[in-house]
Amino acid sequence: MTRGGIGGRSGGRAERVAKRLAAPEVNPCAPGQVGGFYKPLSEAEIVAIYETALRLLSELGMGEVPEVLERRFLEAGARKADARILFPRAMVERCIGLAARTFTFHGRDPGRSIEVGGDRVHFGTGGAAVQTLDLETGRYRPSTLRDLYDFTRLQDTLTNVSWFTRCCVATDVADSFDLDVNTVFALLKGTTKPVATSFTLAEHVAPILRMVDMALGHEGAFLGTPFLKAHISPVISPMRFGEDAVLVTLACMEHGLPLSCITAAQSGATAPATLAGFLAQSLAETLGSLMMVNVFKPGYPMVFSNWPLVIDLRTGAFAGGGGEISVLNAASAQISNWLGLPSGVASSMTDAKAIDAQYGVEKALSSLAAGLAGGNLIYESSGMTASLLGASFEAFVIDNEMHAMIYRALRGIEVTPDTLGFDAICEAVLGEGHFLGGAQTLAAMQRDYYYPRLADRDAPITWAEKGQPDAWTRAKAAAREVLATHHPAYLDPAAEERIRAEYNILLEA
C-alpha cells in the first residue's frame, strides 16, 4: 500500500481544497427520490379504513349531486335513495381500476417535466394565502398580483420545488375573471416549471386556455404538453358535492387540464375527531371525486389529493403544524399508494408567523413524514406560513434547502463493495491515519453529501465575527438577490403584446 492512500496524493493541498469546494458533479439529493418507508398504518388497519369508506359510499352516499353528474353516476351503476346517491362496492372498485396510475406533469421546458405516481416523491406548492410577509418590513400585508409574480420567479430558481401552484391570492384584483386570468399570466411569465391554478367559475376555463395557447404560439398547443394543472375541491365535507366546483372540473377535463381533486376535511369540524374515522370519511370523499372523473373520462390524469387538515379543538382554529397533521397526511399517502393511485398530500403548513424555531420544527416534521410515507406530490410544502394565511419569500428559500435534506434522507445508504471500503480503511489505518483527501473521500463528497448554502456551520467565533446572522437574515439576503437579478423572459414579446391587447392584464410589463 502506498502512504498516500488510494492512488496516492496528486496535485498537492491546493488541488484537494479546490475539489472539496467544487460544485458536485452529481446531485446527491435530486427531486423524485423513492418514498414509502414510513408506514403509520398496518395492512389490517388500511383494510379497515378502506372497508369503512366503501360502506359510507354504499350506505350513506353523497349528497347535493348536480344533475349532470347524477345522470352519469346512475348510468354507471349508482342508485338514488331519497336525495342521496349511493355507490355499490363494485362500481367504486371498477372506477379505481379505471383510474390513471401515472402521468406526466409537463413543464413548458421539457427538462422540468415530472412523472406523477409510483413511488417517487416531489415537493411543490399550493395554498391561497391572502397575506405576504413583506421582505422589507418583516410584517404581514395583503398579497398582491406583484407578489404572486415575484414568488413565481423566485421559485423558478429553486431546484427542489418541482412544480408551482399559485401560493397566494392577488387581493388587489377584485374581478374574479381578471383574477383567474392574471394569475395564469403571472405563471406563464415567471416560470417554465409545471404549474397549477384554480378557476372561480367554469366559464373562465375556455378563455384562459385560449390565452395559454396564445402564449404557446398557436391554437391547440396546450394539449400537446399540458403543463397547467387545475386545483379543485369538488367534494365539500361531510359527504356532499359542490356544484360550482363540479362544473369547473368538467370544463377542465374538456380542455385537457390534469386535475388535483382535493378533499380538505377538518378534524372535529367537517370530519370525525378520531384519526381513523377521519381517514375513512376523507377516503370516501376523495373516492367520490375519483368516480366523478372516471365516469366521464376513464383514465383521465388526476392526483388523488386526500389532504387531512386538523383544527385545534380548543379554539376551532386551523392548525397547520404538529404531530396529528403529520401522521394523518402520511397515512393518507400510504392509503393512496396502497390503492395504486397518484397521491397528493400536504405538509409544511406551519402555524408560525415568524421564521423561527416553531417554523423549523413544524415544517421539518410534517415534510419528512410525508416524504418518508411516499406522497407523490407534497403540496403546501414551500413558502407557506401562518396556518396557510401567509406566504414568505424567505420561507421559499429555506424550504428549498429543507427539501434537499429530506430527499437526501429518502435516498438512503448505498451498500456496495466500493462503499464498504475495506481496502480504503486498511490503507488509511496503515498509511496516514486519516481519510482526508483520499480518492474515496473525494468521490463520496461529490456523490453522497449535500452542502447547504443557508444553514450555518461556522464555529461560534466565526459566526460572531460575521454579525451573528440567523436563518431569517440569511434567507432574506438570498431572496433579495434572486428578485434583483432573475428577470425571466419566458413569454415571447409578440405573444405577450397580443395577450395584453385581448385581456385585462394588470401586471406591469
Alpha-carbon distance of 57 to 64, in angstroms, equals: 14
- Confirm if 262 and 346 have CB atoms less than 8 A apart: no
Cell of 413: 445508504
Q: Any idea what DSSP says for residue 340?
A: T
Q: Which residues pair with 271 in a beta bridge?
A: 267
User: What pLDDT is attached to residue 3?
Assistant: 33
* Length of the chain measured in residues: 509
Instruction: Tell me which residue has cell 377542465.
Output: 252
3-state secondary structure of 234: coil
Mode of pairing for the β-strands spanning 84-86 and 62-63: antiparallel
CA distances from residue 37 to 2, 122, 162 in whole angstroms, order as listed = 42, 15, 21
3-state secondary structure of 129: strand
Reported as type and span, the H/E element at residue 306 is: strand 302-306
Output the 3-class SS for 438-478: CHHHHHHHHHHCCCCCCCCCCCHHHHHHCCCCCHHHHHHHH
| Planar angle of CA 474, 476, 481, nearest 5 degrees | 100
What does each of the 509 residues of the chain score in pLDDT, given as a tens digit? 333 333 334 455 556 545 544 555 678 889 989 998 999 999 999 999 999 999 999 999 999 999 999 999 999 999 999 999 999 999 999 999 999 999 999 999 999 999 999 999 999 999 899 999 999 999 999 999 999 999 999 999 999 999 999 999 999 999 999 999 999 999 999 999 999 999 999 999 999 999 999 999 999 999 999 999 999 999 999 999 999 999 999 999 999 999 999 999 999 999 999 999 999 999 999 999 999 999 999 999 999 999 999 999 999 999 999 999 999 999 999 999 999 999 999 999 999 999 999 999 999 999 999 999 999 999 999 999 999 999 999 999 999 999 999 999 999 999 999 999 999 999 999 999 999 998 899 989 888 999 999 999 999 999 999 999 999 999 999 999 999 999 999 999 999 999 999 999 999 97
Query: pTM of the entire structure?
Result: 0.93
- Confirm if 252 and 231 have CB atoms less than 8 A apart: no
396-437 pLDDT, tens digit per residue, is: 999 999 999 999 999 999 999 999 999 999 999 999 999 999
DSSP 2-50: -TTSTT---SHHHHHHHHHHSPPSS-TT-SS-B------S-HHHHHHHH
- Confirm if 282 and 263 have CB atoms less than 8 A apart: yes
Instruction: Tell me which residue has cell 452529481.
Output: 26
Nearest to 121 by CA among 35, 204, 185, 58: 35
Alpha-carbon distance of 78 to 76, in angstroms, equals: 6
With 0-12 / 13-18 / 19 or more C-beta atoms within 10 angstroms meaning exposed / middle / buried, residue 342 is buried
CB neighbour list of residue 424: distance below 8 Å, 6 or more residues apart: 5, 6, 435, 438, 440
285-326 pLDDT, tens digit per residue, is: 999 999 999 999 999 999 999 999 999 999 999 999 999 999
Nearest to 29 by CA among 413, 400, 410: 410
